[in-house]
Every structure is written in structure tokens, then in C-alpha cells.
């Protein structure tokens, strides 16, 4: 007598039927050529954006110089409130950082000063300061460092 053992679980019968891929059926996804085209488009757009941003640093510096002049004007006004007048042309903007020793020596100069460091314009050059007739003029000569000019070479000034 032969004994035939049947498997407890027939694995083959539990599998889902497989769908065979037919010739001509397309898979979803990108081909290598499509991916290269997308990368080239991204590179071109990035290049255009970078070129526009890189060509404008001097415009950003001019804007920064305007903001710096506004801050210096505020420090000069505080100096005047404490001491009755603006620093002289000879004392210059250094009077906002260190107590002047050139007359007239301010009696109520603020401990610690009015600015933390001697101001330089956005191109690393000192601002021109003139005190005249109870007022003042602060000027940056722009990118070229020379009086006059246009665009980023134009003078930037503040008065008080």
C-alpha cells in the first residue's frame, strides 16, 4: 500500500495570477534622454538667475551705504542732544566712537560712544563728514570713490 502525502498548504494555488507583459506596453517613468533635458533646463534657469544676482552687488552696496548714513545721522543727533552741537569737521565721525580731545571737548559724551566702530562705506572707504553752520553732511563717493558720477558711482549723502 502506498501512502500519498498531500501538502497542508498548496503555495502555488495561493499566488495571484501574473500578468505577462506584452510587447508594446510602456512603463511609467522618464527615459535617460528626458532626464537629461530636464537637467539642462534647470541648469539654464539657474545660470540666468545667478548671472542676474551676481551682476548686482554694487547696487546692494549702494543701498547699504544709504542705510549706514541713516544710522550715522541718528548717532550724530544723539551726540548733539548730549553735547549741544555736532562734532566739528576736524573731530569727524571718530567723535562718535572715541571722546574727542580736539576742542571743543564734549562735556556729556556718552560712555561707550555713539557707534561701536569708525564707519566705512560699503566699498570700505571712510565717509566724508563736514560740520557747518549748525548742521552736517555725510557723504559716500560711491563705487569709484570720486565726487559725482552716475549709477553705483553716484555720491550718496545725508544731511542734518
- The model's pLDDT over 135-159, given as tens digits with 9 standing for 90+, comes to 999 999 988 888 988 888 889 999 9
Count of other CB atoms within 10 angstroms of residue 39: 10
Cell of 81: 542732544
Question: Are 126 and 104 spatial neighbours (Cβ–Cβ below 8 Å)?
Answer: no
Evaluate whether the domain defined by 59-159 bears CATH number 3.30.700.10: yes
User: Could you tell me which of 6, 150, 137 has the C-alpha nearest to residue 72?
Assistant: 137
Answer whether residue 18 shows pLDDT above 90: no
Q: Is the bond preceding residue 72 a cis peptide, omega within 30 degrees?
A: no
Binned at pLDDT 50, 70 and 90, residue 20 comes out as low
Predicted local distance difference test score (pLDDT) of residue 39: 82
* Whether the model pTM is above 0.85: no
Model confidence over 94-104: pLDDT tens digits? 999 999 999 99
Number of residues in the chain: 160
Cα–Cα dist 138/130, whole Å: 7
Domain chopping of the chain, boundaries: 59-159
Amino acid at each position: 500500500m502506498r501512502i500519498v502525502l498531500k501538502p497542508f498548504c498548496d503555495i502555488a494555488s495561493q499566488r495571484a495570477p501574473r500578468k505577462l507583459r506584452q510587447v508594446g506596453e510602456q512603463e511609467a517613468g522618464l527615459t535617460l534622454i528626458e532626464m537629461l533635458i530636464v537637467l539642462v533646463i534647470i541648469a539654464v534657469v539657474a545660470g540666468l538667475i545667478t548671472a542676474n544676482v551676481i551682476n548686482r552687488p554694487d547696487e546692494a552696496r549702494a543701498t547699504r551705504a544709504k542705510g549706514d548714513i541713516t544710522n550715522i545721522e541718528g548717532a550724530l543727533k544723539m551726540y548733539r542732544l548730549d553735547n549741544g552741537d555736532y562734532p566739528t569737521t576736524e573731530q569727524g565721525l571718530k567723535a562718535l566712537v572715541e571722546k574727542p580731545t580736539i576742542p571743543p571737548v564734549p562735556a556729556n559724551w556718552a560712555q561707550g560712544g555713539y557707534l561701536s566702530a569708525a564707519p566705512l562705506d560699503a566699498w570700505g572707504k571712510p565717509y566724508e563728514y563736514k560740520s557747518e553752520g549748525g548742521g552736517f553732511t555725510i557723504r559716500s563717493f560711491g563705487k569709484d570713490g570720486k565726487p559725482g558720477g552716475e549709477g553705483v558711482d553716484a555720491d550718496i549723502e545725508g544731511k542734518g
